[in-house]
Amino acid sequence: MDAGEQRAVLTLCLMAAFADGGNDEKERAEIKRIAESLAAGGALNVAEIYQEVLLRKPDLAALAAAIPLEEHRRYAYEMAACVCDADGATTPAEREFLARLARALGLDAAAAQAYTRQADAVASVPLAGQALDGAIVAAVPANPDGLDRMILNYAILNGALELLPQSLASMAIIPLEMKMVYRVGKAHGFELDRGHIRDLLATLGVGLTSQYVEQLGRKLIGGLLGKIGGGLVGGAGSLTTGAAFSFASTYALGHVAKRYYAGGRRIDAAGLQQAFASMLGEAKQLQTKYSAQIVERARTLDVNKLLAVVKQ
């Protein structure tokens, strides 16, 4: 994608992030922070795009015209659908936005709706469903060492998902993080629901929509979408962007959750945030140790099989 296409795709994704009008103040602030941080990382002025989306409501037809290739148009729609689904299955307002977007992009309506249904299924995955095929043990670990191995496996898997070209691969990262937290809580005697886990992630600054926007923005700005349709995305450079980000955030989230539930949920918000920031820094350093395992996991992943398991 050239710079004009990148800008159009990211604009559409930010429009998708605000399509239902339901983002709370904390999530909006996090999206703004991400836009500003991404703007510092390349020629694409993401902060300016963010302001344009909020203040001027860009025209869908004009954005679609900036994406001439049908393959890129489909990918733009998929990215927007995944952003809408990041915080749960799409709302009526989001579905209306996606329908207008599909028309503007000239996509087949039935195919677009089928993709949205797939994304909805991944976004609303049951927390207590099956664990993953060989990557993560089916039973909840009964000891700290077992939990540590489980958290590491989730982190490696989520890093590997960022290396794959399929849009639903990245979409699976957030549900997998929620499954991980559910299992950590269960190992300490807590039966968690989706609302509690969302609140914990929000306290830590891990917004669901904003996390997906950040993943996409890093890929776009890093030029890591060049292999749409097949192969690993971006090569070695992606290990310092999307894969590193997903590995580190998953690893840090798992270990903070472990500390939180082991202590009977008695850590306050400030303590949780401090612990997450500290663990995130440690995880970023640790990622290089496991980069080869992340690449190997990506090479051996059967995405269709994985998504079928995630949805159970």
- Residue-wise pLDDT for 285-303, tens only, equals 898 899 999 999 888 887 7
Contact present, 86 and 123 (Cβ < 8 Å) = yes
Give the residue from 56, 88, 123 where a domain finishes.
123
List the CATH number of the domain containing 112: 1.10.3680
- Name residue 310's amino acid: V
In this prediction, residue 152 carries a pLDDT of 94
The residues near 53 (Cβ < 8 Å, ≥ 6 apart) are 11, 14, 15, 18
Task: Quick: pLDDT tens for 135-191.
Answer: 444 456 667 788 999 999 999 998 988 888 777 777 788 888 888 999 999 999 999
In this prediction, residue 137 carries a pLDDT of 40
Q: Do residue 195 and residue 301 come from a single domain?
A: yes
Mean pLDDT value across the chain = 80
**pLDDT over 90 percentage in the chain:** 31
Q: Do residue 152 and residue 295 come from a single domain?
A: yes
Q: Do residue 117 and residue 176 come from a single domain?
A: no
Q: Do residue 163 and residue 305 come from a single domain?
A: yes
State phi, psi for 204 to the nearest 5 degrees.
Answer: -80, -5
3-state helix/strand/coil string of 113-177: HHHHHHHHHHHCCCCCCCCCCCCCCCCCCCCHHHHHHHHHHHHHHHHHHCCCCCHHHHHCHHHHH
Q: Do residue 57 and residue 190 come from a single domain?
A: no
Least confident interval from 52-56, 266-270, 275-279: 52-56
Q: Do residue 219 and residue 301 come from a single domain?
A: yes
- What is the arithmetic mean of pLDDT over 16-25? 74
Contact present, 154 and 250 (Cβ < 8 Å) = yes
In this prediction, residue 30 carries a pLDDT of 66
Confirm whether 177 is domain-assigned.
Answer: yes
The residues near 261 (Cβ < 8 Å, ≥ 6 apart) are 184, 185, 187, 188, 189, 190
What DSSP character marks residue 222?
T
- Provide the number of structural domains found in the chain: 2
Report pTM. Answer: 0.79
Q: Do residue 170 and residue 279 come from a single domain?
A: yes
Q: Do residue 265 and residue 193 come from a single domain?
A: yes
Neighbour count for residue 62 (Cβ, 10 Å)? 11
Q: Which two tokens stand for residue 169?
A: 């691969």
pLDDT at 7 over 90: no
Confirm whether 136 is domain-assigned.
Answer: no
In this prediction, residue 218 carries a pLDDT of 67
pLDDT at 74 over 70: yes
In this prediction, residue 226 carries a pLDDT of 42
**Dihedral Cα 171, 176, 182, 183, nearest 10 deg:** 170
Q: Quick one: pLDDT band at residue 108, thresholds 50, 70, 90?
A: very high
Least confident interval from 75-79, 177-181, 234-238: 234-238
Confirm whether 135 is domain-assigned.
Answer: no
Q: Do residue 78 and residue 202 come from a single domain?
A: no
Q: What is the DSSP string of 24-47?
A: -HHHHHHHHHHHHHHHTTSSS-HH
pLDDT at 133 over 50: no
Confirm whether 93 is domain-assigned.
Answer: yes
Q: How far is CA 58 from CA 9, 109, 129, in A?
A: 12, 22, 40
In angstroms, rounded to a whole number, what is the distance separating the alpha carbons of residues 72 and 61? 15
In this prediction, residue 224 carries a pLDDT of 45
In angstroms, rounded to a whole number, what is the distance separating the alpha carbons of residues 222 and 293? 22
Q: Do residue 82 and residue 191 come from a single domain?
A: no
Q: State which residues form the domain around 178.
A: 144-310
Give the residue from 64, 89, 123 where a domain finishes.
123
pLDDT at 45 over 50: yes
Q: Do residue 113 and residue 155 come from a single domain?
A: no
